[in-house]
Amino acid sequence: MMSGDGGLPVSDVSLSAKLKENYDSYYDGRPSDWRALGAIDKVDNIRTLCDGIPHADVLEIGSGDGAILDRLSRLAFASKLYSVEISQSAIATIKARSIPYLYDCQLFDGYALPYPDRAFDLSILSHILEHVEHPRQLLREASRVSEYIFVEVPLEDTLRLKPDYIFDRVGHINFYSWKTVRRLIQTCDLQVVSQVITNPSRALYEYASGSAGTFKHIIKDLLLCTSSRVASRLFTYHCSLLCKKISS
């Protein structure tokens, strides 16, 4: 089994039973309107950072219900899309979509990617690292199979973050600031090529909260435009990073 540079062999790292149980039946076979709406922003961020690099063969690690894959396919972003997921219900939901550019969709153990070295131009980890018990192992595996890695996480390490952790169905177990996710990536012998902090779309806020969502979106947008660093200490935004393996 492949191993990350300087880390434990991937075969020695496994997904906890608690997390596996949580995600096994997380998806019900039907695409979610909420995830489809969120995928618009996420794919926009992927295209913003990745349009200038090769992206013919693209692997999405942790595809959920396939909303990002579906939108990437609709936009003909890649010649071939690949997907790995830890959840059997996610795999079933993705396959039921019949995504045109999706070439392969496999169940995996959460860490060992079932592909050879440098199989892909780009691996996508969009809103995955906040769920992962051993994020460095997964980042090292992603850098083994691909030339570039796109990472996006919610910036939940704000002044409003509660001091004590309580597990919920959403499954976030890591809480990042723009600095900590950047440093996490750099500790895996990866360089950050580009980085951006964004506010999800107004449509997403309105879908969740109606007119109150409109007001929240406006306030967060104004604050982000004024100072992204101050804004991300007060509210949750999304941080997207394009990364590349540091040459030996």
Q: Is the pLDDT at 90 greater than 60, yes or no?
A: yes
- β-strand 238-245 against 120-126: which pairing, if any? unpaired
Give the whole-angstrom CA distance, residue 52 versus residue 194: 11
pTM of the model as a whole: 0.91
Start-to-end Cα distance in the chain: 23
Q: pLDDT of 96-109, one tens digit each? A: 999 999 999 999 99
- The structural domains of the chain, ordered by start, are 10-197+237-245 (3.40.50.150)
Q: Is the pLDDT at 5 greater than 60, yes or no?
A: no
Residue range 10-23: mean pLDDT, rounded: 67
Percent of the chain with pLDDT over 90: 83
List the alpha helices (DSSP H) in the chain: 17-24, 33-50, 67-74, 88-97, 135-145, 178-186, 202-209, 211-226, 228-234
Q: Is the pLDDT at 8 greater than 70, yes or no?
A: no
Q: Is the pLDDT at 155 greater than 70, yes or no?
A: yes
CB count within 10 Å of CB 11 equals: 12
Q: What is the pLDDT of residue 21?
A: 66
User: Hey, what amino acid is at 228?
Assistant: S
Cα torsion 145, 89, 44, 41: sign: negative
Q: pLDDT of 28-60, one tens digit each? A: 666 789 899 999 999 999 999 999 999 999 999
